[in-house]
Amino acid sequence: MRLWGAALILTACLGAGLLRAASARRRMETLRGLCGALELAEGELETRLTPLPELVWLLAGRSSGQTGDFFRLLDASFGFLGAEDFAALWSRAAATALSSLNSADREELARLGQILGRYELDRQLGALEACVRALRGELEAARVRYPGDRRLSLGLGAAAGALLIVVLY
pLDDT on residue 26: 96
Predicted model pTM: 0.86
Query: What mean pLDDT comes out for the span 7-36?
Result: 92
| 80 phi-psi bin (left φ>0, alpha ψ -120 to 50, beta other) | alpha
**Whole-angstrom distance, CA of residue 127 vs CA of residue 118:** 12
List Cβ neighbours of 92 (8 Å cut-off, separation of 6 or more). Answer: 77
Band (pLDDT 50/70/90 cuts) for residue 3 is confident
User: Is 80 exceeded by the pLDDT of residue 123?
Assistant: yes
User: Is 90 exceeded by the pLDDT of residue 160?
Assistant: no
The tens digit of pLDDT for each residue in 60-82 reads: 999 999 999 999 999 999 988 88
**Whole-angstrom distance, CA of residue 127 vs CA of residue 156:** 40
Domain segments of the chain: what residues? 14-168
Q: What is the CA radius of gyration of the chain?
A: 21
Band (pLDDT 50/70/90 cuts) for residue 1 is confident
**Whole-angstrom distance, CA of residue 13 vs CA of residue 160:** 6
Residues 31 and 142: beta-carbon distance below 8 Å: yes
Query: What mean pLDDT comes out for the span 22-38?
Result: 96
Band (pLDDT 50/70/90 cuts) for residue 107 is very high
Residues 157 and 22: beta-carbon distance below 8 Å: no
Residues 124 and 115: beta-carbon distance below 8 Å: yes
pLDDT on residue 45: 95
**Whole-angstrom distance, CA of residue 4 vs CA of residue 141:** 40
Cα 148 from chain centroid?
20
| 82 phi-psi bin (left φ>0, alpha ψ -120 to 50, beta other) | left
